[in-house]
Each structure stands twice: as structure tokens, then as C-alpha cells.
Amino acid sequence: MTLAYGVLSGGGVCARVDGVVVDLRGVDPLFDAPSLNALMAAGPEAWRQARERVDEGRELGEAGELGDTALGMPFEVADYVDFYSSLHHATNLGRMFRPDAEPLLPNWRHLPVGYHGRAGTVVPSGTAVQRPAGQHPGGMFGPTARLDIELEAGFVIGTPSVMGEPVPVERALDHVFGMVLVNDWSARDIQAWEYQPLGPFLGKSFATSVSRWVVPLDELRDRRVPGEPQDPAPLPYLAEDPWAYDVALEIELNGTVIARSNTRHLYWSIAQQIAHLTVNGASLRTGDLLATGTISGPEPEERGSLIELSWNGEEPIELPDGSTRTFLEDGDEVVLRGEPLGEVRGRISPALLAPNDRH
Amino acid sequence: MTLAYGVLSGGGVCARVDGVVVDLRGVDPLFDAPSLNALMAAGPEAWRQARERVDEGRELGEAGELGDTALGMPFEVADYVDFYSSLHHATNLGRMFRPDAEPLLPNWRHLPVGYHGRAGTVVPSGTAVQRPAGQHPGGMFGPTARLDIELEAGFVIGTPSVMGEPVPVERALDHVFGMVLVNDWSARDIQAWEYQPLGPFLGKSFATSVSRWVVPLDELRDRRVPGEPQDPAPLPYLAEDPWAYDVALEIELNGTVIARSNTRHLYWSIAQQIAHLTVNGASLRTGDLLATGTISGPEPEERGSLIELSWNGEEPIELPDGSTRTFLEDGDEVVLRGEPLGEVRGRISPALLAPNDRH
């Protein structure tokens, strides 16, 4: 069977078993909880036992028929970290913004670059995404004119680690409960003006969407494939045989698939991300969400963001209705998909300006 | 009376009233809690009522005699945001790292620059700070050789805001429960290598220390003073008469005061920081910690970090025992102080390298 866990909109854990939703309330105290965090914190042995009790649940119907409203936010986010682990994505942005220089910055092949995002605005699939307003280059103010998506996967931490004790790369996966799909919505004009020298802030913090199902990492074991060689060889604390998950992904915009990618295009593995995140002694907490960064493949049609697909707005994307897009318009709906993760969906609603902004 | 709230090490709220610690357990259900978050979430009217019931508590003794171990972490951190709101600090770093250019980046006078830090490694005063290891410029590995402090204040959010609704600058303070002292420990070599293009990450995430007492914002009302003029005039969503809090601060290193500063040197106010943080629709949650960034004054002896005080290590600081410091050594103890906030203290313990790093 293929298993995923979710949380019913009124609380209580449910499972998706081969496409059928099963209510697990009453089966085990770990399932009678407002989020997956209790189960996630219980650790790998409890996760194995939980899996064996899934058939004791009560069938609720087909997952596709129940829809998003039957489910709530699957887990409480502790810290949210977003990495930048796709070589093709980082290279594309480098070519776009630093055309006369080496596309990759000097640190990129030495460590998984990452930053902390806003945990409080991580929302479940289906939540409307309001177009953010803010400062654009030069200090002009208005709704973003460059609203973008980022096709990402995310890993959710189950077992916490101890502050001061780095997690070795070969034990990193013991801490991971499961995988989700992530849309890291981005306002490129806001981001461009604010990000020096401390990184992205309001250009990202307005919303990050995650799928409502979390797929336990054990379910993905058969999808491990060899990864591209890493050059230079990573430092010992990051060293492992290169590998990645083979999960095919697609971006659908208003019903049309505009790009296809795959998590196998990631340069840094989740184990390396965790080893890096903790090498300075920082601890992991149950509910930490570690996203991969935009997952782009080597081909033009495998780019995981609109800024790449439209090449910084210079090459509009054509849709079947005859319209074109560089960035998102109000009313647009984006769905990211990838089996067995499911989907993460969001529709753009218009900007709401504060009273002080109506000038 | 001058009031601050804390949490007893076994749970339960206490107050510090004119230097005396008062046990508030049993006085009100909001005080019978593992952290201040229940009280913080209850809002301004509940805060006023709580203040009136403080004299119903049981005296435990002088705050100075009880010491750090009597108290726990005062609040659960939701998101941790660190701003960069001192003009003198930003100017000093600009002069140091971009000597041939304008010290301030183009965005600095237009918005309060900030980024998200790691909420999971915010620790209370007195917690030992382990020297972090990590990658240094060029991809070399080892314990940081440039371990620094940052003298900051922090504001703790009480009343949450609604996602999608920017908080107007004139109502921003309604959301703030109180103020703490913050030491934003920093590893400058790790930060220098990692921070392009997504900002500080492991150079900051190993530990951030906060004082164990939270001073309600109402207690600081008499300390509001006019601020320096802001040029250019901020956009309407940030517009207010410039003001700051007058709270004198000092940095003590191994028993010697090495710098004095004041929160009045901040260019951006906490109200402006909140208006900016939420202008894109991002919400505030109870427990959000908004730190100011390093607070440096205009004079050399008013610099709030060692990298400024030693001018990037070129001008060692002389201590009374005849030793000098550019950055921190193992065993050093740093205490940040400022009335009525109290202190935030931390001693450096040696790096612990992961098994994979012992090469």
C-alpha cells in the first residue's frame, strides 16, 4: 500500500491508503491529536507501529472526492528553513542576474545554501494567496507586479535533536518523518529591493503553501536513486554517496501543465541539508520544515519558477486560451503535483492595501 | 512600581516588582501556565488587570539573590525576526566591508531591513553558548575564530494579527507585550562565507540569548523620547513622528564594561518594524520575537559588537588583566545590561566537533 497521513479539519489524524481516506481517531492516542506533531515526535519505532494499525481505521471515501476542505493543516511548523539545493535553479538565476560573472556563487558547491523563512505563514493547500504589497526597487510602493511560484519539496522533522550536538549525515534520515509538496510563493520585485545584505524577507513571508498529506519517508524508500556526482567532494560532515528521490513533479497554471521536473535534480540531499543545518550545534525540533528550494531540471521546460520559465519576464508563457503570463495575475490558480505526495494548490486574490497605503 | 514578568523554572508566572520576585501562581489562571504566552495572548485589557493583581502574589526574595536558575525561558518563541535598525551599526559595517562605496546600501533608509532567525535556538540568559563549528571562507572547516556578540533589544508580540491584514503603524504597539534584552551571538567567519545570496544562516542560528524578565511595554512609556529625523521621509505605511526608547545599555566582558549604548540610537522604531513586517499581509503570532539588530551609538565606545569595537579585528580591545580581545575566547563571559530590562548573560564553552569532523 501507499500511505500518507493528514489531519481532519476538526482535528484527529487520518491516513490516505491507496487513494482511500481512513479516519484513525480512536485507534491510538497518537491519532487523537490536533496535528501530526504528537505522532511525528514519537519516533521511528512508533511510526512503524502506527503504520500497522492503519487498517483498524474507518473508511471515509476516496481522497479525490473528499477534497481539501475535509483536511486541515497537517502539522504545526516549528522553524521553516528553505534551501537552494537545485544546481539548475541556482545557475539559471545566476545567468539572469549576473550575466557577466560565474553563474554559481563561490560557496554554492561547498554547502547547501539556505535561510530561515516565516513559520507563521505556512498554510495548507487550497488557501487563497493574497497578492502582497510592499516596496519595490527604488522605494516605490504597491502590489507586487512579479508574483511568482517556486516548485519545491519539503521534509518534516519528527525526532528532535539535542542543541550542541551536530547530527551526522549518516543518521540524518532518522529524524525525518515525511515529505510534502511546497509552493514557496515569491514577490520578485519586493525581494530584489530588500534582500541585501540579509536575504529574502517580505518577498517570501506573505505565504508558503504545503500539501495536506505528509508521506512518511519509509514510503519513498524505493524511490532512492543515485545522484549526480558532487564536485568538489563535500567536506567529511557532508560526505555520502550522492543520491536523490525520484519523484516526478509538475506545475499546472489555470489547468495547463507549464513545466515538469523531478526531485532527482536536487544536488544536495535532505541528509546533507540536515547535517549542514546542525553542524553549528543548532537543534532540530519536531515540526521543523526543511524545503529544498526551487527544483529545476536541466531543460527549459523543467524550470520550477515563472522567473525561470519566462526568463525574467522576457519570454512570456503562452496559455491555451491565447493569453500569456510572465508572472501571476489575480485569479490565477497554480497546482503543484507529484505522486505520491499529492498536490498543493493556491489561487491568487487581489491585494488589500492598508488604509495608510491608499495614497 | 517597576514591573517585569518571568516564569519560574518549574512553570508558573512570577513578577519582579521593584527588585523583589513575587510568585503569582494561584492568583489568576493566566499565571498558572508553563510560559508567559497565555498572558501575552490575552491582550492589553488582560495585561492591565494582571498588573493590578501582582500584589496578591507571594514574595520569594530579592531578584539578585535568586539568580538565573530560579527562572526558566519566559516565553515560547513563535517566529524570530532580527532587524538591522541602528544607523551607526549599519554604517560601521558598510565602512568596514565596502570601504570604497557608500556605507549604507540603497534600501537602508527606505525600510527596516530584517531577516528571520532560528526560533528553536533562542535560549534564556545564563545558558552556556557552545562555540560553533562550520565552514569558513573558501570552504575550510573548523570552530569559528570570530565569535561575536550583538547588543540588541527585543520586542515580544502578545496580541496576534490576522493574515492578509497589514498592521497600521499607529496601532502596532497594541500588539506588543513587552521588551527583553537580546544577545544575537554571531560567528563572523561562518556568516561571511554563507550569506550570499540568502543572508545569515549558521553564522547566527547556533544560539540567541534573551533576558529571563520581560518588561511590559507600559512600563517603558515614560522612556519614549524624540528620535532622530528620518531622511528621506518614510512611505505613508511607515510614517510617524520619530521616537525611540531611552534605555541605557552596556556590554560587560569578563567583568569589565567595554561599551555603553542606548536604544535611543535606533533609527527605526518598533512600530515601524511591525508595520513593515506585516505590510505584505504576513501575520503576527503570540510569541514572535522582533529584535532590533545591534544597537550602536555614534561614538567608538558605543559600538554594540566586537567586530565594531575591534574594527574587524584590527584594533584589539584591552582588558584590565592585560589580555586583549578581538573576538571571544573559550571561557569568556558576556553580560548585556540595561535597566529596567535586567541582564542577559552567556559564557563560551569550547566547540564540540561531530565524529565526521575529527579529520
- Find the residue in A nearest to B356 (Cα): A237
Q: Which of B117, B280, B357 sits opposite A237 (nearest CB)?
A: B357
Q: Which residues of chain A have a CB within 8 Å of the CB of B195?
A: 197-199
CA B8, CA B21: separation in Å to the nearest integer? 10
The DSSP annotation for A161-202 comes to: --TT-PPPGGGGGGGEEEEEEEE--EEHHHHHHH-TTT--SH
pLDDT at res. A310: 98
| CA separation for the pair A8, A356 (Å, rounded) | 39
Can A89 be counted among the known catalytic residues?
Answer: yes
Interface of B with A in 59-98 (CB under 8 A): 78-79, 82, 84
Give the CA count within 13 Å in the CB-facing half-sphere of A271. 21
CB contact under 8 A, A132 and B280: yes
Cα separation, B62 vs B22, in Å, equals 9
Where chain A has pLDDT below 50, the residues are: 358-359
Kind of pairing between the strands at B129-130 and B342-349: parallel
CB contact under 8 A, A196 and B357: no
Q: Which residues pair with B114 in a beta bridge?
A: B83
**B243 close to B269: Cβ distance less than 8 angstroms:** yes
Write out residues in chain B with pLDDT < 70, as ranges: 353-359
Give first-to-last CA distance, chain B, whole Å: 58
- Cβ contact A152:A85 at 8 Å: no
Contact B201 A116 (CB under 8 A): yes
| Contact call for B116 and A121, based on CB within 8 A | no
pLDDT at B359: 43
- Please judge whether B198 and A78 are an interchain contact, meaning their C-beta atoms are less than 8 angstroms apart: no
Task: Tell me whether B257 touches chain A (CB under 8 Å).
Answer: no
| Peptide linkage before A340 cis (omega within 30 of 0) | yes
Q: How far apart are CA A147 and CA B231, in angstroms?
A: 30
Q: In 3D, which of B182, B190, B162 has the Cα closest to residue B282?
A: B162
From the list B201, B235, B356, the residue facing A114 with the nearest CB is B201
Longest CA span, chain A = 62
Task: Judge whether B292 and B263 are in contact, CB under 8 Å.
Answer: yes
Angle at A222 between CA A209 and CA A51, to 5 degrees: 70
Residues in chain B closer than 8 A to A147 (CB atoms):
none
Residue A181 in contact with residue A289, Cβ under 8 Å?
no
What are the grid coordinates assigned to A140, written together? 516605490
* A283–B113 CB contact, under 8 Å: no
CA–CA min distance A251, chain B (Å): 24
Q: What is the pLDDT of residue A357?
A: 53
Going from the C-alpha of A317 to that of each of A324, A326, B179, the distances in angstroms are 5, 6, 49
Torsion of CA B87, B93, B95, B99, to 10 degrees: -140
Question: Does residue B93 contact residue B308 with C-beta atoms inside 8 Å?
Answer: yes
Instruction: With beta carbons under 8 A apart, name residues in chain B contacting A288.
Output: 120
d(Cα A64, Cα B73) in Å, to the nearest integer?
Answer: 45
Indicate the SS3 state at residue A226. Answer: strand
Cβ-defined contact of B235 to A114 (cutoff 8 Å): no
Question: Which member of A89, A175, A265, A276 is catalytic?
Answer: A89
Provide the chain A residues 191-220 that lie in CB contact (below 8 A) with chain B.
Answer: 193-202, 205-207
> What is the interface pTM, i.e. ipTM, of the complex?
0.97
H helical segments located in chain A: 37-42, 44-52, 63-66, 87-97, 188-194, 202-205, 270-278, 306-309
Nearest CA in chain A to B164: A130
| Residue A353 confidence (pLDDT) | 67
Q: What is the pLDDT of residue A355?
A: 53
Q: Does A102 touch chain B (CB under 8 A)?
A: no
